[in-house]
Structure 1
């Protein structure tokens, strides 16, 4: 008989159990012998562990569930009474007055009250700033490895977060907001339209270190889909299905791109044939440039300005179309006017003679006409029959 897989709690419950045990994603990843991105995918529900990792993850969550139940039981118990000695200040008018140390029982604040105070809901701006502070620095370095331009990398990340702020209700409820912003930033960095911009026609200064410069040259020589797949898998640490989903390709296609990209890097740089060495070198090259992202407030303000600009442009364009339509309706004819027909050839008209020497008959006719004009026209007189 086939053994049924170990049951797992819902993705939201997995994250709650980890946070209740004060464990980070890195600590869980170290216990499970996986990457932090894999743990994040398990908690977001995008992927599910299989085989031995599923059994180990189920045991870990079961232990965290027991610890959480014990914690909830302790929190449900009545708050303990703590005896506090309150010293009463002596009355200076009485000589025999002494400090009063009457014990008073005062309850400690309940854990539920403290939790409610600490987990105050964040405003949209605060949640956006937290996401930006968590993702922006790493995204700028990743975008630099994709496009090889420092200013374009910063601009791509800022543009991605501006779009995220404009669609924040959609991004805030996404299973992986960081993945949404990362995919948008990658699309902006790899856009082919940047080559037509004057500021990006000339190459930027390469890295100072020769090994960093060689690795960046190899990456930029790869096709854009291969470069993106290599960065997501060996740089960011995503699984192959997640990499395929983010690059909008099938899993076999993503694996094929990854193998070809690794082979191209190993052919130029044999010391980076190992995936671990390639991962380390990608992190070193990205961190060596010390790229900085803009402040989150600046990004939010820029997003709002851009949204207002395009809204006003759309309104102006609509008004122009309405005005042109109204002018056309006002000046258009109200009745049908047939077009002028083309000319037709009239038969029976002798062709006009070309200028030249007059014949004898024409000379006699001209002389007669001139003489008649000189003496005047003849008077017609009726003659009897």
Structure 2
């Protein structure tokens, strides 16, 4: 069926129209009994008019009505009715044309007068002609509905493709945001540590060569952090909320993180092992960001990391003492605490950050306890 329909659609419209004109002419030659010049002229006009049925369907139907008057079943009239029904949405017009074609076909030719045919025969002819005229109208409406359905299906398919494209863009945006956060949390963490250690070596060493090497390392680290900040902002420009990537840091990695932070830090308390993976990751990133900020902005300070569970909520607090010496001028992306706040919001938690009365700083994360 699909191949036949495809083949039919490939036939040029002028070829189809010419074939219909020839078929109507053959129908007239076989079944037409009128020999008057006027009747032959009207029949020829009706057949030839089919060539213009696509542009003027109603006018062509009117021109084919004499054929319905002069022969029992006129192919030209049926084709004109089909074309009109295929191209018109006016059902009243179609019903009127079908009734008109049936009425014209019922009138006897030559005009003998109604009494000579009889009422019963006339009624039978009228019903037969009405059914014959209704068939092409219904078929034309069916073809029109089928074409409309094909167009609607094509529009739906196009809308689905567009929706899939938008979904792919949204997924890409979330991945870009996640990548930006990972770059800030992991790469920035390591490069900042390199810069801090290089700065400390530059101040402490007495060897001019070592001091120059430390200065070069610190300069390169600062430049790298600046470039990383630009990359993170570009990635976040089209990003959304983050998606989970593997492998995930867990609570078991916290002690190693604290011990390798490069500052005097203490880890106290504990959390249940059944804490969900997203919550474990949020705790880990909070501690990592807080300790990184202590190294960058509070040289010589000590830190305390407290894990705790309070009923249906868990949390972590990172508190540091005031700095004991001036901080080195390291660049900051200003996105660390913003990212932590976004993580907490996604998990229906809260993040608080601010100075302490003694001049230190405190970062506190609270999350609902959602066992994995």
Q: TM-score, normalised by structure 2?
A: 0.18
TM-score under structure 1 length normalisation: 0.18
Instruction: Considering Cα pairs closer than 8 Å and 6+ residues apart, tell me whether 1 or 2 has the greater RCO.
Output: 1
